[in-house]
Structure 1
Amino acid sequence: MTRETISFVYVTYIASTAEKVFEAITRPELARRYWGHENVSDWKPGSKWEHVRANDERTVELVGEVVETSPPTRLVITWANASQAADPDAYSRVTFDIEPYDDMVRLTVSHDELQAGSGMANGVQKGWPVVLSSLKSFLETGRGLDVFAKPKAA
Protein backbone atom coordinates (compact mmCIF):
# COMPACT_ATOMS: atom_id res chain seq x y z
CA MET A 1 0.00 0.00 0.00
CA THR A 2 1.36 3.39 -0.96
CA ARG A 3 0.95 6.21 1.49
CA GLU A 4 -1.00 9.21 0.29
CA THR A 5 1.02 12.41 0.33
CA ILE A 6 0.17 16.08 0.17
CA SER A 7 2.23 19.18 -0.59
CA PHE A 8 2.00 22.90 0.04
CA VAL A 9 3.60 25.79 -1.85
CA TYR A 10 3.90 29.29 -0.39
CA VAL A 11 5.16 32.31 -2.35
CA THR A 12 6.21 35.47 -0.51
CA TYR A 13 7.67 38.68 -1.93
CA ILE A 14 10.15 40.37 0.39
CA ALA A 15 11.85 43.75 0.04
CA SER A 16 15.31 42.33 0.67
CA THR A 17 18.18 40.55 -1.07
CA ALA A 18 18.61 36.85 -1.77
CA GLU A 19 21.66 36.82 0.50
CA LYS A 20 19.72 38.26 3.46
CA VAL A 21 16.82 35.85 2.98
CA PHE A 22 19.17 32.85 2.80
CA GLU A 23 21.02 34.03 5.91
CA ALA A 24 17.75 34.55 7.81
CA ILE A 25 16.82 30.92 7.15
CA THR A 26 20.22 29.38 7.89
CA ARG A 27 21.76 31.53 10.64
CA PRO A 28 20.45 30.49 14.09
CA GLU A 29 20.74 33.96 15.63
CA LEU A 30 18.58 35.41 12.84
CA ALA A 31 16.00 32.59 12.62
CA ARG A 32 15.26 32.85 16.34
CA ARG A 33 14.21 36.50 15.88
CA TYR A 34 11.30 35.72 13.55
CA TRP A 35 10.70 31.96 14.01
CA GLY A 36 11.22 31.40 17.73
CA HIS A 37 13.53 28.54 16.74
CA GLU A 38 17.08 28.24 15.50
CA ASN A 39 17.97 26.22 12.40
CA VAL A 40 21.29 24.61 13.28
CA SER A 41 23.57 22.95 10.72
CA ASP A 42 26.72 23.50 8.71
CA TRP A 43 24.41 23.48 5.65
CA LYS A 44 26.50 21.06 3.61
CA PRO A 45 24.70 18.35 1.60
CA GLY A 46 24.41 15.22 3.73
CA SER A 47 24.72 17.14 7.01
CA LYS A 48 22.10 16.96 9.72
CA TRP A 49 20.04 20.00 10.72
CA GLU A 50 18.01 20.64 13.86
CA HIS A 51 15.16 23.05 14.55
CA VAL A 52 15.86 24.08 18.16
CA ARG A 53 13.36 26.01 20.29
CA ALA A 54 14.94 29.37 21.19
CA ASN A 55 14.15 29.25 24.91
CA ASP A 56 15.81 28.00 28.09
CA GLU A 57 14.86 24.37 27.42
CA ARG A 58 16.48 24.40 23.92
CA THR A 59 14.21 21.53 22.82
CA VAL A 60 15.03 19.96 19.46
CA GLU A 61 11.61 19.87 17.79
CA LEU A 62 12.44 18.99 14.18
CA VAL A 63 15.32 17.17 12.52
CA GLY A 64 16.42 16.36 9.03
CA GLU A 65 19.22 16.32 6.53
CA VAL A 66 20.52 18.90 4.09
CA VAL A 67 19.77 17.55 0.61
CA GLU A 68 20.97 20.46 -1.51
CA THR A 69 22.37 23.91 -0.89
CA SER A 70 23.16 26.63 -3.42
CA PRO A 71 23.56 29.88 -1.47
CA PRO A 72 21.88 32.27 -1.79
CA THR A 73 19.20 30.89 -4.11
CA ARG A 74 18.24 27.36 -3.03
CA LEU A 75 18.11 25.11 0.01
CA VAL A 76 16.50 21.66 0.20
CA ILE A 77 16.13 19.78 3.50
CA THR A 78 14.28 16.78 4.84
CA TRP A 79 11.96 17.43 7.78
CA ALA A 80 10.50 15.30 10.61
CA ASN A 81 9.44 15.60 14.23
CA ALA A 82 12.42 14.79 16.45
CA SER A 83 10.29 12.12 18.15
CA GLN A 84 9.93 10.33 14.78
CA ALA A 85 13.53 10.69 13.62
CA ALA A 86 14.03 6.91 13.39
CA ASP A 87 11.03 6.42 11.06
CA PRO A 88 11.98 6.98 7.39
CA ASP A 89 8.29 7.38 6.49
CA ALA A 90 7.95 10.36 8.84
CA TYR A 91 10.19 12.60 6.73
CA SER A 92 8.95 15.21 4.31
CA ARG A 93 10.94 17.66 2.18
CA VAL A 94 11.19 21.45 2.23
CA THR A 95 12.60 23.45 -0.67
CA PHE A 96 13.44 27.13 -0.36
CA ASP A 97 13.83 28.82 -3.76
CA ILE A 98 15.01 32.42 -3.51
CA GLU A 99 14.81 34.46 -6.69
CA PRO A 100 15.84 38.11 -7.13
CA TYR A 101 12.80 39.94 -8.49
CA ASP A 102 13.42 43.59 -9.44
CA ASP A 103 14.26 45.31 -6.13
CA MET A 104 12.93 42.46 -4.00
CA VAL A 105 13.05 38.69 -3.62
CA ARG A 106 10.49 36.05 -4.49
CA LEU A 107 10.71 33.29 -1.87
CA THR A 108 8.96 30.05 -2.79
CA VAL A 109 8.72 27.46 -0.03
CA SER A 110 7.56 24.03 -1.19
CA HIS A 111 6.83 21.47 1.50
CA ASP A 112 6.09 18.09 -0.05
CA GLU A 113 6.11 14.36 0.67
CA LEU A 114 3.89 15.00 3.70
CA GLN A 115 1.65 12.16 4.82
CA ALA A 116 -1.92 13.28 4.01
CA GLY A 117 -4.05 13.80 7.12
CA SER A 118 -1.08 13.66 9.50
CA GLY A 119 -0.48 15.99 12.41
CA MET A 120 2.62 17.23 10.59
CA ALA A 121 0.61 18.14 7.47
CA ASN A 122 -1.90 20.01 9.65
CA GLY A 123 0.87 21.83 11.50
CA VAL A 124 2.68 22.75 8.28
CA GLN A 125 -0.50 24.18 6.77
CA LYS A 126 -0.96 26.46 9.79
CA GLY A 127 2.70 27.13 10.51
CA TRP A 128 4.30 28.22 7.25
CA PRO A 129 1.99 31.23 6.64
CA VAL A 130 2.81 32.83 10.00
CA VAL A 131 6.53 31.97 9.80
CA LEU A 132 6.86 33.44 6.31
CA SER A 133 4.88 36.54 7.30
CA SER A 134 7.19 36.95 10.28
CA LEU A 135 10.28 36.48 8.08
CA LYS A 136 8.99 39.19 5.73
CA SER A 137 8.28 41.57 8.64
CA PHE A 138 11.68 40.84 10.18
CA LEU A 139 13.63 41.53 6.99
CA GLU A 140 11.62 44.61 6.05
CA THR A 141 11.24 46.23 9.49
CA GLY A 142 13.77 44.52 11.77
CA ARG A 143 10.99 43.02 13.89
CA GLY A 144 9.40 39.60 13.47
CA LEU A 145 5.86 38.67 14.47
CA ASP A 146 4.84 36.55 17.45
CA VAL A 147 4.66 33.16 15.73
CA PHE A 148 3.20 31.64 18.91
CA ALA A 149 0.23 34.05 19.03
CA LYS A 150 -3.23 32.50 19.36
CA PRO A 151 -6.54 33.78 17.97
CA LYS A 152 -8.42 36.09 20.33
CA ALA A 153 -11.65 34.74 21.75
CA ALA A 154 -14.76 36.32 20.28
Structure 2
Amino acid sequence: MSDNSFVYVTYIRTTPEKLWTALTDPEFNRQFFLCSHQESDWKVGSSWKLVFPDGSTADSGEILEIDPPRRLVIKWRNEWLPEVKEDGYTRCTFAVEQDGELTKLTVIHEADGPHKLIANVAKGWPLVLASLKSLIETGKGFERPPSKG
Protein backbone atom coordinates (compact mmCIF):
# COMPACT_ATOMS: atom_id res chain seq x y z
CA MET A 1 0.00 0.00 0.00
CA SER A 2 1.16 3.52 -0.78
CA ASP A 3 -0.26 6.76 0.56
CA ASN A 4 -2.45 7.03 -2.55
CA SER A 5 -3.68 3.48 -3.23
CA PHE A 6 -4.92 0.33 -1.52
CA VAL A 7 -5.59 -2.99 -3.28
CA TYR A 8 -7.34 -6.02 -1.79
CA VAL A 9 -8.07 -9.32 -3.54
CA THR A 10 -10.21 -12.12 -2.17
CA TYR A 11 -11.85 -15.24 -3.56
CA ILE A 12 -15.40 -16.12 -2.58
CA ARG A 13 -17.28 -19.35 -3.18
CA THR A 14 -20.20 -17.76 -5.07
CA THR A 15 -21.25 -16.54 -8.48
CA PRO A 16 -20.49 -13.06 -9.84
CA GLU A 17 -24.24 -12.33 -9.87
CA LYS A 18 -24.69 -13.17 -6.18
CA LEU A 19 -21.60 -11.16 -5.26
CA TRP A 20 -22.91 -8.21 -7.29
CA THR A 21 -26.21 -8.34 -5.43
CA ALA A 22 -24.35 -8.40 -2.12
CA LEU A 23 -22.34 -5.34 -3.13
CA THR A 24 -25.30 -3.27 -4.32
CA ASP A 25 -28.33 -4.29 -2.23
CA PRO A 26 -28.77 -2.16 0.96
CA GLU A 27 -30.27 -5.01 3.00
CA PHE A 28 -27.39 -7.30 2.08
CA ASN A 29 -24.92 -4.46 2.82
CA ARG A 30 -26.23 -4.14 6.39
CA GLN A 31 -25.29 -7.77 7.01
CA PHE A 32 -21.61 -7.40 6.10
CA PHE A 33 -20.77 -3.66 5.95
CA LEU A 34 -20.66 -3.49 9.75
CA CYS A 35 -24.35 -2.50 9.82
CA SER A 36 -23.85 0.35 7.32
CA HIS A 37 -25.32 0.31 3.82
CA GLN A 38 -24.91 1.94 0.44
CA GLU A 39 -27.60 4.01 -1.28
CA SER A 40 -27.67 4.66 -5.03
CA ASP A 41 -29.78 3.89 -8.06
CA TRP A 42 -26.60 2.36 -9.55
CA LYS A 43 -26.43 4.28 -12.83
CA VAL A 44 -23.50 6.26 -14.23
CA GLY A 45 -23.67 9.80 -12.86
CA SER A 46 -25.95 8.85 -9.95
CA SER A 47 -25.21 9.94 -6.42
CA TRP A 48 -23.89 7.34 -4.02
CA LYS A 49 -23.51 7.30 -0.25
CA LEU A 50 -22.51 4.97 2.55
CA VAL A 51 -24.88 5.41 5.48
CA PHE A 52 -24.09 4.65 9.13
CA PRO A 53 -26.63 2.66 11.19
CA ASP A 54 -27.83 5.93 12.81
CA GLY A 55 -28.75 7.35 9.37
CA SER A 56 -25.83 9.78 9.10
CA THR A 57 -23.66 9.80 5.97
CA ALA A 58 -20.24 8.20 6.33
CA ASP A 59 -19.08 8.72 2.74
CA SER A 60 -20.57 10.15 -0.44
CA GLY A 61 -19.83 10.37 -4.12
CA GLU A 62 -20.97 9.40 -7.58
CA ILE A 63 -21.16 6.29 -9.74
CA LEU A 64 -18.45 6.73 -12.41
CA GLU A 65 -18.72 3.31 -14.12
CA ILE A 66 -21.05 0.37 -13.76
CA ASP A 67 -21.03 -2.91 -15.69
CA PRO A 68 -23.04 -5.51 -13.73
CA PRO A 69 -21.84 -7.97 -12.55
CA ARG A 70 -18.24 -7.19 -13.52
CA ARG A 71 -17.18 -3.67 -12.60
CA LEU A 72 -18.20 -0.76 -10.41
CA VAL A 73 -16.26 2.49 -9.96
CA ILE A 74 -17.31 5.03 -7.32
CA LYS A 75 -16.07 8.59 -6.82
CA TRP A 76 -15.73 8.51 -3.00
CA ARG A 77 -15.27 11.16 -0.31
CA ASN A 78 -15.31 10.77 3.46
CA GLU A 79 -17.96 12.96 5.12
CA TRP A 80 -17.47 12.48 8.85
CA LEU A 81 -13.79 13.20 9.49
CA PRO A 82 -13.09 16.87 8.59
CA GLU A 83 -9.34 16.33 8.15
CA VAL A 84 -10.02 13.49 5.68
CA LYS A 85 -12.91 15.21 3.90
CA GLU A 86 -10.70 18.20 3.08
CA ASP A 87 -8.45 15.93 0.96
CA GLY A 88 -11.35 15.55 -1.50
CA TYR A 89 -12.39 12.57 -3.58
CA THR A 90 -10.87 9.15 -4.17
CA ARG A 91 -11.93 6.33 -6.52
CA CYS A 92 -13.00 2.88 -5.45
CA THR A 93 -13.13 0.14 -8.06
CA PHE A 94 -14.76 -3.24 -7.56
CA ALA A 95 -13.75 -5.82 -10.17
CA VAL A 96 -15.62 -9.14 -10.15
CA GLU A 97 -14.34 -12.15 -12.13
CA GLN A 98 -15.41 -15.79 -12.32
CA ASP A 99 -12.48 -18.09 -11.51
CA GLY A 100 -13.64 -21.68 -11.76
CA GLU A 101 -15.93 -22.41 -8.80
CA LEU A 102 -14.87 -19.17 -7.13
CA THR A 103 -15.42 -15.51 -7.79
CA LYS A 104 -12.45 -13.18 -7.54
CA LEU A 105 -13.16 -9.75 -6.03
CA THR A 106 -10.55 -7.04 -6.41
CA VAL A 107 -11.07 -3.74 -4.60
CA ILE A 108 -8.81 -0.86 -5.59
CA HIS A 109 -9.20 2.35 -3.60
CA GLU A 110 -6.99 5.12 -4.97
CA ALA A 111 -6.37 8.85 -5.06
CA ASP A 112 -4.51 11.08 -7.49
CA GLY A 113 -1.98 11.96 -4.79
CA PRO A 114 -1.39 11.40 -1.08
CA HIS A 115 -4.74 11.14 0.70
CA LYS A 116 -5.63 10.51 4.35
CA LEU A 117 -8.58 8.28 3.41
CA ILE A 118 -6.27 5.60 1.98
CA ALA A 119 -4.79 4.86 5.43
CA ASN A 120 -8.33 4.59 6.83
CA VAL A 121 -9.60 2.25 4.11
CA ALA A 122 -6.48 0.09 4.49
CA LYS A 123 -7.77 -0.71 8.00
CA GLY A 124 -11.46 -0.90 7.06
CA TRP A 125 -11.61 -2.80 3.77
CA PRO A 126 -10.00 -6.04 5.05
CA LEU A 127 -12.61 -6.30 7.84
CA VAL A 128 -15.54 -5.39 5.59
CA LEU A 129 -14.48 -7.77 2.82
CA ALA A 130 -13.81 -10.62 5.25
CA SER A 131 -17.31 -10.03 6.60
CA LEU A 132 -18.71 -10.13 3.04
CA LYS A 133 -16.93 -13.42 2.32
CA SER A 134 -18.17 -14.88 5.61
CA LEU A 135 -21.74 -13.78 4.94
CA ILE A 136 -21.84 -15.27 1.45
CA GLU A 137 -20.14 -18.53 2.41
CA THR A 138 -21.63 -19.15 5.88
CA GLY A 139 -24.74 -16.96 6.03
CA LYS A 140 -23.34 -14.69 8.76
CA GLY A 141 -21.34 -11.48 8.45
CA PHE A 142 -19.53 -9.67 11.26
CA GLU A 143 -21.22 -7.34 13.74
CA ARG A 144 -19.95 -3.79 14.10
CA PRO A 145 -16.92 -4.02 16.41
CA PRO A 146 -17.12 -2.03 19.64
CA SER A 147 -15.59 1.44 19.36
CA LYS A 148 -12.24 1.98 21.05
CA GLY A 149 -11.72 4.69 23.60
- Indicate whether the TM-score tops 0.5: yes
2:60 is the counterpart of 1:66? no
* Counterpart secondary structure, 1:144: coil
RMSD of aligned Cα (Å): 2.2
Which residue among 77, 80, 91 is the counterpart of 1:80? 77
Q: Which moved more, 1:73-82 or 1:109-118?
A: 109-118
Q: Whose radius of gyration is greater, 1 or 2?
A: 1
Counterparts of 1:60 and 1:47, CA distance in 2: 16
Match of 2:12 in 1: 14
Match of 1:97 in 2: 95
Identify unmatched segments of 5+ residues in structure 2: none
Q: CA deviation at 1:81?
A: 1.3
Task: Give the TM-score, by structure 1 length.
Answer: 0.85
Counterpart residue identity of residue 130, structure 1? L
1:115 deviates by 5.0
Given the two structures, how large is their TM-score scaled by the length of structure 2? 0.87
Which residue pairs with 1:47 in the alignment? 46
Q: Percent of aligned positions with the same letter in both sequences?
A: 42
Distance 1:5 1:130 in 2: 19
The secondary structure found in structure 2 opposite 1:64 is strand
- Structure 1 residue runs of 4+, over 6 Å off? none
Count of aligned pairs between the two proteins = 143
> SS where residue 148 of structure 1 aligns?
coil
Question: Would you say the 8 A contact 2:94–2:106 is kept in 1?
Answer: yes
Quick check: 1:130–1:147 contact (8 Å CA) kept in 2?
no
CA, structure 1 residues 45+13, in 2 after alignment: closer, same or farther (shift >3 Å)? same
Q: How does 1:119-138 map to 2 (within 5 A)?
A: 120-138=117-135
